[in-house]
Chain A
Amino acid sequence: MSQFAPPLARKTRHKRWQNPRSGLLFLAPSAIILVVFVGYPIVQSAWMSLHDWSYLQVTHQFIGLQNYIDLANDPRFWNALGNTAIFSVVTVPAQVVIGLLLAIRLSRSTWLSTFYRSVFFFPVISAFATMAIVWKFLLSPDIGPFAAWEHALGLPTVNILQSTAFALPAVIVVGLWKNVGFTMVILIAALQEVPESLNEAAALDGAGSWGRFRNVTLPAIRQPLLFATIIAVIASLQVFDQVYVMTAGGPLFHTETLVTYMYELGFQQYRSGYAAAVAWVLFILIMLVSVLQLRIFRYRDVD
């Protein structure tokens, strides 16, 4: 690290900084912004969640954990939490498995693989809210082609996004449509790092293609796979754009998620304190799930 530092500096490190002024100056713009617009709001959101806080009022009454107690008795919160859980439980495995299968099939640099990689990645660069408008129209019974195909096949035409049975599955499929390419790209980068010699050695030892995948490839990409899974979990717990645009949480709250509920509480009802409590539940949930996943994968490592 400090090969340029004179040997003496190590002993008196706490006294002599080589670039005390320029270092702080270079860091200052980012540090100020991060403190004012990230650090302070994190602390403030915890503080707000302990108050009966509306941003329109001048004073805010301290109510301790009352917001959290109210949440525990709020059926709409439990409903939003349940929908978010269903969304994540279906989305994450599907996204990782499909992403992994595509990555394995498309990791070679043939022109066909390269072309398909671009195709599957393309939704990642598009604006989700804008493409959710397109999906809303695609699924619309008035102008959408899906309704026309259902009709042509003699099936009853369903207004998918207004259906309590189909709205959440539709939101899930559209989420996968958008994000599978993201997982695929992370895993392709990982697969291309796996040394060819490992595969070769395993093949010479007589391992079949499944054996090589199970015992060579999978362990070699374990870290990126874990990372892709955690990213997918975090993103799915924060699901917002397509729900807000396609169903606005409906029909009858059947697609309402934690973030859409938080949005409504915070920015339509202006119940900032209560909304901040929802945000903290989300935060704690994300932390718990991430730590749990790190744990599980680490235990496997010991085996």
Chain B
Amino acid sequence: MSTNSVPIYLRKKATPLRLALKIVIWIVISLLALFVVFPFVWMVLTSFKTEKDVFALPAQLWPAHWSFAAYSDIWKELPFARLFLNSVIFAGGVTVISVLFDSFAAYALARLDFPGKNIAFYLVIATLMVPYQITLIPLFQELFDFHWLDSYQGLIVPRATSAFGIFLLRQFFVSIPRDLDSAARIDGAGEFRIYAQIMMPLAKPALATLAVFQFMNNWNDFLWPLVVTSSTDMRTIPAGLTLFGGQYVVDYAVLMAGATISLLPLAIAFFFAQRYFVQGIATTGIK
């Protein structure tokens, strides 16, 4: 929307002082940017170092010898394939199921007329405001009672819907003109057909935004998998790497290789579909 050129009324004479100030501002921004990317650069470069380079004195940023050993050792030193699989099942499972359920509920709240609708909507808004730490202790007890601790259903089912997702999709559905579903209704289409064949195709951008948001949050989540899982075989990548980092593995290159691999799916997705990541965050601001 906004253009590159500065509007005429905002243009100022380019005095040397203004120019100097502008240069200083951009230098500060560049230094900050360097600070922000540095951990990522260091992480990737360290993952290619030999053990000798990792401990080199004085510390070297660039590996003296490029080594891919960490990327082959990681599968042996950690159950990394299992951690990766668990992350895929947990984040992927939560994303698919919650987007589906959220879109059901959002459709009902946006378009259908049924008893308890208003109360349901206010309850959804209310749960949006509750920090999830408050549910953590009783949830642990609940999952213990269900014998669901340390299992995929324990990880996924409590997250299989989100108040945020329902709210986001409801706002989107409300904005779709009613003429479309009215016409289909007159033609005798059932509610499920209207939902599946009219609303869902129109809602693709909102669904994609929600899916990216959910996948990112769960792929990166730490506290929830840390609480629900206890065996090495059920840990996700963040929880697994952290525990191994602290206790068993002191092979820095291997841990940095694990961190790099775990960042890769989101980094690639971010590179190609940045706007969905940004929209997910930006729409939280419109609440």
- 20 A-B pairs with CB atoms under 8 Å apart are A4-B182, A19-B113, A23-B112, A23-B117, A30-B102, A30-B104, A33-B101, A34-B161, A34-B163, A37-B139, A41-B135, A55-B140, A108-B2, A122-B36, A122-B267, A127-B262, A133-B259, A143-B252, A144-B59, A244-B222
B237/A196 in contact, CB under 8 A: no
Q: Check A283/B134 contact, CB under 8 A, given A26-B108, A121-B277, A142-B55.
A: yes
Say if the beta carbon of B39 comes within 8 Å of chain A: yes
Least CB distance from B134 to A in Å reads 5
The secondary-structure label for the interface of chain A is helix
On chain A, the residues within 8 Å of B43 by CB distance are: 131, 134
Residues of A within 8 A of B55 (CB): 142-143
Whether A177 pairs with B10 at a CB distance below 8 angstroms is no
B147 at the interface (CB under 8 A from A): no
What's the Cα separation between A138 and B35 when bound, in Å? 12
Task: Tell whether, in the assembled complex, residue B161 and residue A185 are in contact, meaning their CB atoms are under 8 Å apart.
Answer: no
A18-50 residues with Cβ-Cβ distance < 8 A to B are 18-24, 26-27, 29-31, 33-34, 36-42, 44-45, 48
B242 touches A133 (CB 8 A): yes
**Could you tell me if A48 and B127 are in contact, using CB atoms closer than 8 angstroms?**
no
**7 residue pairs, one from A and one from B, having the closest CB atoms:** A23-B114, A129-B222, A26-B108, A30-B105, A127-B220, A23-B112, A148-B59
Decide if B220 touches A29 in the complex (CB within 8 Å).
no
Q: Scoring A residues 92 to 134 as 1 if CB is less than 8 Å from chain B, else 0, what string do you get?
A: 0000000000100111111000001011111111111111111
Contact residue among B33, B42, B135, B284 (Cβ-Cβ distance under 8 Å from A145): B42
Q: Of residues 158 to 179 in B, which have CB atoms within 8 Å of A's CB atoms? A: 158, 160-161, 163, 166, 178
Please tell me if the beta carbons of A189 and B37 are within 8 angstroms of each other in the complex.
Answer: no
| Interface flag for A216 (CB, 8 Å) | no
In the complex, residue of chain A having the shortest beta-carbon distance to the beta carbon of B256 = A134
Q: If the complex has contacts A45-B137, A122-B36, A124-B281, are A152 and B131 also in contact, measured as CB distance less than 8 A?
A: no
Complex contact B237–A122 (CB within 8 A)? no
- The residue in chain B whose Cβ has the minimal distance to the Cβ of A266 is B137
CB proximity of A235 to chain B, nearest CB, Å: 10
Which of A71-79, A159-167, A199-207 interfaces with chain B? A199-207
Whether B4 pairs with A109 at a CB distance below 8 angstroms is yes
Does A87 interact with chain B (Cβ within 8 Å)? no
Q: Which residues of B contact A231 (CB under 8 A)?
A: 284
Q: Which residues of A contact B3 (CB under 8 A)?
A: 109
Total A residues in contact with B, Cβ cutoff 8 Å: 108
B9: CB under 8 A from chain A? yes
Question: Are B37 and A119 closer than 8 Å at their CB atoms?
Answer: yes
Per the bound structure, the CA–CA distance linking A120 and B36 in Å amounts to 7
A232 on the interface (CB 8 Å rule)?
Answer: no
Assess whether B223 is interfacial by the CB under 8 Å rule: yes
B70 at the interface (CB under 8 A from A): no
Given contacts A38-B130, A192-B1, contact A122 B270 (CB under 8 A): yes
**A18-B114, A48-B137, A134-B39 known; 8 other A-B pairs, CB under 8 Å?**
A23-B108, A23-B114, A27-B104, A31-B105, A38-B135, A40-B142, A118-B274, A122-B37
Q: Establish whether residues B2 and A109, one from each chain, have CB atoms under 8 Å apart when the complex forms.
A: yes
Contact between chains at B113 and A2 (CB < 8 Å)? yes
The complex places the Cα of A234 from the Cα of B130 at a distance, in Å, of: 10
Q: Are A186 and B282 in contact (CB under 8 A)?
A: yes
Q: What are the residues of chain A within 8 A of B54 when measuring CB–CB?
A: 143
Assuming the contacts A189-B285, A199-B10, asked whether A34 and B124 have C-beta atoms less than 8 A apart, the reply is yes
The reply to whether the CB of B96 lies closer than 8 angstroms to some CB of chain A is no
CA distance A55 to B32 in the complex (A): 47
Chain A residues within 8 Å of B, Cβ to Cβ: 2-5, 17-24, 26-27, 29-31, 33-34, 36-42, 44-45, 48, 55, 102, 105-110, 116, 118-138, 142-145, 147-148, 151-152, 177, 181-182, 185-186, 188-190, 192, 196, 199-200, 203-204, 209, 224, 227-228, 231, 234, 238, 240-241, 244-245, 248, 259, 262-263, 266-267, 272, 275-276, 279-280, 282-283, 286-287, 290
Task: Assess whether B266 is in contact with A267, with CB atoms less than 8 Å apart.
Answer: no
Asked if B23 is at the interface of the complex by the 8 Å CB criterion, the answer is no
Given A30-B105, A279-B137, A116 and B252 contact (CB-CB distance below 8 Å): no
**Chain A residue contacts of B127, Cβ below 8 A:** 34, 38-39
Q: Give the nearest-CB partner of B269 in chain A.
A: A125
B201 within 8 A of A: no
Q: Does B195 contact A (CB under 8 A)?
A: yes
Distance between B279 CB and nearest chain A CB, rounded to angstroms: 9
Specify which chain A residues have a CB less than 8 angstroms from the CB of B163 in the assembled complex. 34, 38
Partner of A130, one of B37, B123, B237, B270: B237
Q: Are B281 and A134 in contact (CB under 8 A)?
A: no
Q: Identify which of B115, B123, B277 contacts A125 (C-beta below 8 A).
A: B277
Taking a contact as CB atoms under 8 Å apart, the answer to whether A41 and B223 are in contact is no
**Chain B residue at minimum C-beta to C-beta distance from A110:** B4
A126 B220 Cβ-Cβ under 8 A? yes
Other-chain contact of A127, B138, B157, B219, B285 (Cβ < 8 Å):
B219
Find out whether the CB atom of A18 lies under 8 angstroms from the CB atom of B112.
yes
Name the CB-closest residue of A to B223: A240
- Is the CB of B16 closer than 8 A to any CB of chain A? no
Contact with A along B64-102 (1 / 0, CB 8 A): 000000000000000000000000000000000000011
